[in-house]
């Protein structure tokens, strides 16, 4: 595999995980809640596409967005009792929801899953020299760039964005200064649902089989990326998601083929080292309060 | 009487465990199997509690010590005449080894403890979610290595033909030992120092407590107990794959601990017995059982759905767990109300980690002598 090809593939996975990471970080920012059930939003999106097979593409896309964002809002309602809970409780609660939803999908759709049949022709590749780039790869990168740009505009230039950043920095003070907590939290869930739906659409093309753990397998690396990047802040968390996706592809290529089965070990050993050296996150600058003891 | 009262937080849960184990003897044979599995799961949860409950640091990694213990015991105890053929790549030392039941349990505990100690030295410097993710990484690496490095692990194959020795006596005794160790630890000066760091790490540190060292102690002890639990598990199942001691087990045991009450031994025992018991009951119910004159047969899949709902509801509406994260109180005290919680309670708890987790049996002098 040529170097450029490798970079493109790594960027594509990085962009996708960056979107997932941002969805996790948005909610964490305003609620201090690490949502393990976030992956299930992606799974819900995938099964929405399964159930709308045969509809016009526009309607399927629309349905996915509506259902996923609605589910995200529903999660907000479910998690309301947790606003003052401890970190451990929150973590286990979101995990319990994730567990419940996965088993619900298992119950309804069975372990084999269902084919999604969504825009499969986008998997065709265009060849430039010895490069083979699938359309969906280009779309993933473009979508990642557009959505990250949109989010940074929303958060940086608008009033609601300012409120969200204020809430993420210091929720109590933000409330005292007139930021409406309920609205900001709800908005965070809407935006993270929106990102989950976008991720679903890309994934649905790349991985056309919807299984009960469809979203969970994407969530885990993204979540690790979020913590490695720096959980408290949006940009570092997003970069962390990108980094983990990028590193997965690059490491997979660098490792000799005999030891490629140990990819996870190498990747997670790096994660541990990064956490030990920079417990506040890789991309947070030197401002954070070190959590080491 | 006074001694009994002092040790009640250990004696009470132990009596419950014995009652459950004895009660299991009257059930049909297939159900006895489930009871044993409930007891072994409880051992794992108590081992997890020793670190997570006392330190307040979330760890997904304790199951890696269960896994290491399980495979150490399993590989060492499996018959030496079949190992070289089923696992050709196994290093000769392991392939030729064949040890008895007690030795293999000791080996499991030792290996689990050693692994936890080595991993803990760097990792115990982390707190909060970084610690959670780092221990999660340990679990992933452990699984990845056991699954792929066939010189020391079973690979993707099932490790089978392990002597099944974890019957009623061994499961119960094992659990009682682990509970006793957990209780003695948490009331020792080491345990109390660690609990102080849980309530307020900065204050504990400024009182001269070495947070890293105390956490490392607990992490290692938890590794010893986890390894031992793994040994019990492998001798209960008779055969095991790496996927059985991986993410699912890590999450479900953590959920059991939180459902019961993360900060108390009583919580760990109650949470594990309740959720594992419910799990076992529903598994049986899916196959069809008769209660009195009432035939019950649940459709497949109900088990996991019900578990999910129960876990979610308890965590959402009773975040300190069904026991409120308190130890079992002496039932015969004169006051209608349980003993007052320690004096610092009204100020101390709330927003941070320690809500409602104070000691019930009063302050031990050794806790303040630091």
CB contact under 8 A, A279 and B126: yes
Using an 8 Å CB-CB cutoff, list chain A residues near B144: 261-262, 264-265, 268
pLDDT for residue B338: 54
- Residue B123, chain A, CB below 8 Å: the answer is yes
Residue B87 to residue B150: CA distance in whole angstroms:
8
- Give the number of other Cβ atoms within 10 Å of residue A220's Cβ: 17
Q: B55 to chain A nearest CA, in Å?
A: 12
Q: How confident is the prediction for chain B on average, in pLDDT?
A: 83
The burial class, CB within 10 Å (0-12 / 13-18 / 19+), for B44 is buried
Q: A103 to chain B: which residues are within 8 Å by CB? A: 301, 304-305, 308
Burial class (CB in 10 A: 0-12, 13-18, 19+), A255: middle
Q: CA nearest A261 in B: which residue?
A: B148
Considering all CA atoms of chain B, what is the largest pairwise distance in Å, rounded to the nearest integer? 67
Percent of chain B residues past pLDDT 90, beyond the cut: 35
Measured between beta carbons, which residues in chain B are less than 8 angstroms from residue A280? 130
H or E stretch including A235? helix A234-254
Residue located via tokens 């309530």: B199
Q: What is the pLDDT along chain A (293 residues), one digit of tens a residue?
A: 578 888 888 888 999 999 999 999 888 888 888 888 999 999 999 999 999 988 888 999 999 999 999 999 999 999 888 877 777 778 888 888 998 999 899 888 888 888 887 877 777 778 777 777 888 888 888 988 898 889 888 888 898 888 888 887 778 888 888 888 888 889 999 999 999 999 999 999 888 888 998 998 899 889 889 888 887 778 888 899 999 999 988 888 888 877 778 888 888 898 899 888 887 777 776 544 444 44
Give the domain ranges of chain A: 3-217
Contact B100/A254 with Cβ under 8 angstroms?
Answer: no
pLDDT in tens, B319-346: 888 888 888 888 877 655 555 554 444 4
Interface of B with A in 178-217 (CB under 8 A): 201, 205, 211-212, 215
Q: A114 - beta bridge partners?
A: A210
Residue B229 contacts A, CB cutoff 8 Å: no
d(CA B364, CA B78): 46
Please name the residue that has the structure tokens 């084999």.
Answer: A112
- State the smallest CA–CA distance between residue A234 and chain B in angstroms: 16
CA distance B333 to chain A (A): 32
Window 53-72 of B, Cβ < 8 Å to A:
56, 58
B352: closest CA of chain A, how far (Å): 7
CB-CB under 8 Å, B126 with A291: yes
Give, in degrees to the nearest 5, the angle at Cα B248 between A282 and A234. Answer: 25
What are the structural domain ranges in chain B? 2-364
- In whole angstroms, give the CA distance from residue B258 to residue B356: 13
Token pair of A236, please?
């570092």
Asked if A85 and B129 come within 8 Å (Cβ–Cβ), the reply is no
* Listed residue (B60, B16, B58, B26) closest to B272, CA to CA: B16
Which of A169-178, A258-267, B118-127, B285-294 is the least confident region? B285-294
Q: How far is B101 from chain A (nearest CA, A)?
A: 32
Contact A106 B304 (CB under 8 A): yes
Is the Cβ pair A268, B319 closer than 8 Å?
Answer: no
Its CATH architecture, for the domain B2-364, is Orthogonal Bundle (1.10)
Q: What is the predicted pLDDT for the residue at B348?
A: 36
- Alpha-carbon dihedral B131, B132, B138, B141, rounded to 10 degrees: -130
Q: What is the mean pLDDT of residues B190-213?
A: 92
- Nearest-neighbour CA in chain B from A95: distance (Å): 8
* Chain B (279-318) residues lying within 8 Å, Cβ to Cβ, of chain A: 301, 304-305, 307-309, 311-312, 315-317
pLDDT 10s digits, A31-82: 888 888 999 999 999 999 999 988 888 999 999 999 999 999 999 999 888 8
Tokens for B242, please give them.
């790496």
CB nearest to A275's CB, from B130, B308, B353 = B130
If one counts every other C-beta atom within 10 angstroms of the C-beta of residue A233, the result is: 23
Among the residue ranges A202-216, B30-44, B191-205, B279-293, the one predicted with the least confidence is B279-293
Q: Range with the lowest mean pLDDT among A77-86, B182-191, B221-230?
A: A77-86
Name the nearest CA neighbour of B83 among B178, B37, B150: B150
pLDDT digits (tens, 9 = 90+) for B131-148: 888 998 999 999 989 888
Residue B335: the pLDDT is 59
Q: Which single residue is written with the structure tokens 């107990």?
A: B225
Q: What percent of chain B is helix, strand and coil (3-state, nearest 5)?
A: 65, 0, 30
Q: How many helices (H) and strands (E) does chain B have?
A: 17, 2
Q: Would you give the DSSP letter of residue B240? A: B
pLDDT band at B58 (very low <50, low <70, confident <90, very high): confident
**Average of pLDDT values for B23-37?**
82
- Is residue B237 scored above 80 in pLDDT? yes
B258 touches A: beta carbon within 8 Å: yes
The pLDDT value given to residue B360: 39
How crowded is residue B297: how many other Cβ atoms within 10 Å of its Cβ? 11
How far is the C-alpha of A157 from the C-alpha of A148, rounded, in Å?
Answer: 14
Quote the CA–CA distance of B161 and B168 in Å, as a whole number: 20
* Residues of chain B contacting residue A78, judged by C-beta atoms under 8 Å apart: 312, 316
Quote the pLDDT of residue B334. Answer: 64
Q: Which helix (H) or strand (E) holds A128?
A: strand A125-128
Which of these ranges, A160-174, B169-183, B290-304, B318-332, has the smallest mean pLDDT?
Answer: B290-304
Nearest C-alpha of chain A: how many angstroms from B3? Answer: 34
- Judged by CB atoms closer than 8 Å, whether chains meet at A264 and B205 is answered as no
Q: How far apart are CA A238 and CA B164, in angstroms?
A: 49
Chain B: closest CA distance from residue A235 (Å) = 18
Residue B294's H or E segment, with its range, is strand B294-296
DSSP string, A133-160: EEHHHHHHHHHHHHHHHHHHHHHHHSHH
Residue B254 forms contact with A (CB below 8 Å): yes
Is the CB of A262 less than 8 angstroms away from the CB of B148?
A: yes
B9 contacts B266 by C-beta, under 8 angstroms: yes
- Distance between CA A75 and CA A38 in Å, rounded? 9
Closest CA to A215 of A232, A202, A231: A202
Output DSSP code: residue A51.
H
* Minimal CA separation from B350 to chain A, in Å: 9
Minimum Cα–Cα distance from A282: chain B residue:
B130
Query: Out of A24-38, B38-52, B78-92, which region has the weakest mean confidence (pLDDT)?
Result: B78-92
Do A87 and B128 count as a contact with CB atoms less than 8 A apart?
A: yes
pLDDT given for residue A182 in this prediction:
84
- Predicted local confidence at residue B150, as pLDDT: 79
Q: Which two tokens stand for residue B366?
A: 């050794």
- Asked if B243 reaches chain A (Cβ–Cβ under 8 Å), the answer is no
pLDDT at residue number B91? 74
Task: Tell me which H or E stretch contains A132.
Answer: strand A131-134
Of residues A92, A231, A262, nearest to B129 (C-beta): A231
What would the pLDDT profile of B12-23 be if each residue is shown by its tens digit? 899 898 988 888
251-270 in chain A: CB under 8 A from chain B? 261-262, 264-265, 268-269
């Amino acid at each position: 595999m040529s170097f450029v090809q490798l970079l493109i593939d790594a960027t594509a996975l990085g962009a996708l995980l960056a979107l997932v990471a941002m969805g996790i970080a948005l909610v964490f920012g305003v609620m201090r809640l690490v949502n393990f059930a976030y992956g299930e939003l992606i799974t819900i999106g995938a099964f929405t596409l399964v159930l709308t097979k045969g509809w016009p593409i526009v309607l399927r896309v629309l349905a996915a967005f509506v259902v996923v964002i609605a589910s995200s809002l529903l999660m907000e309602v479910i998690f309301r009792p947790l606003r003052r809970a401890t970190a451990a409780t929150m973590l286990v609660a979101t995990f319990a929801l994730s567990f419940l939803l996965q088993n619900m999908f298992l119950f309804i759709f069975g372990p084999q899953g269902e084919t999604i049949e969504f825009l499969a022709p986008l998997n065709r590749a265009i060849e430039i020299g010895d490069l083979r780039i699938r359309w969906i790869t280009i779309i993933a990168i473009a979508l990642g760039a557009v959505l990250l740009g949109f989010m940074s505009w929303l958060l940086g230039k608008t009033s609601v964005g300012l409120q969200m950043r204020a809430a993420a920095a210091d929720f109590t003070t933000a409330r005292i200064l007139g930021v409406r907590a309920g609205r900001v939290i709800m908005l965070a869930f809407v935006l993270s649902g929106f990102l989950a739906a976008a991720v679903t659409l890309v994934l649905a093309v790349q991985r056309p089989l919807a299984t009960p753990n469809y979203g969970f397998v994407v969530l885990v690396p993204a979540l690790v990326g979020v913590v490695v990047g720096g959980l408290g802040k949006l940009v570092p968390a997003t970069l962390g998601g990108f980094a983990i996706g990028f590193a997965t592809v690059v490491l997979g290529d660098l490792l000799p083929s005999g030891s490629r089965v140990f990819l996870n070990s190498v990747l997670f050993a790096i994660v541990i080292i990064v956490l030990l050296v920079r417990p506040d996150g890789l991309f947070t600058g030197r401002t954070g309060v070190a959590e080491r003891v | 009487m006074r001694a009994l009262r002092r040790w009640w937080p250990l004696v009470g849960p132990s009596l419950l465990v014995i009652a459950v184990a004895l009660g299991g003897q009257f059930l049909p044979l297939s159900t006895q199997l489930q009871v044993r599995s409930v007891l072994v799961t409880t051992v794992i949860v108590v081992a997890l509690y020793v670190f997570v409950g006392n330190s307040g640091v979330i760890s997904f990694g304790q199951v890696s010590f269960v896994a290491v213990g399980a495979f150490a015991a399993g590989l060492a105890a499996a018959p030496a005449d079949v190992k070289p053929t089923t696992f050709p790549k196994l290093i000769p030392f392991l392939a030729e080894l064949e040890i008895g039941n007690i030795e293999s349990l000791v080996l499991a505990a030792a290996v689990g403890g050693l692994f936890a100690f080595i991993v803990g030295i760097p990792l115990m410097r982390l707190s909060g979610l970084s610690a959670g993710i780092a221990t999660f990484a340990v679990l992933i690496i452990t699984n990845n290595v056991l699954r792929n490095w066939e010189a020391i692990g079973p690979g993707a194959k099932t490790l089978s033909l392990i002597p099944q020795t974890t019957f009623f006596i061994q499961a119960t005794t094992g659990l009682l030992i682990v509970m006793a160790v957990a209780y003695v630890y948490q009331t020792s000066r080491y345990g109390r120092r660690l609990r102080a760091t849980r309530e307020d790490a900065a204050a504990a540190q400024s009182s001269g407590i070495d947070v890293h060292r105390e956490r490392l102690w607990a992490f290692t002890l938890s590794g010893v107990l986890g390894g031992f639990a793994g040994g019990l598990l492998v001798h209960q199942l008779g055969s095991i794959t790496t996927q059985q001691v991986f993410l699912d087990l890590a999450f479900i045991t953590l959920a059991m601990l939180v459902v019961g009450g993360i900060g108390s031994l009583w919580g760990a025992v109650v949470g594990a017995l309740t959720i594992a018991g419910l799990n076992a009951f529903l598994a049986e119910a899916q196959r069809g059982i008769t209660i009195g004159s009432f035939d019950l047969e649940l459709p497949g899949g109900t088990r996991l759905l019900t578990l999910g709902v129960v876990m979610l509801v308890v965590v959402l509406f009773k975040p300190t767990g069904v026991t409120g994260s308190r130890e079992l109180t002496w039932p015969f005290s004169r006051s209608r109300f349980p003993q007052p919680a320690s004096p610092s309670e009204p100020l101390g708890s709330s927003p941070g980690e320690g809500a409602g987790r104070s000691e019930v049996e009063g302050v031990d002098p050794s806790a303040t002598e630091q």
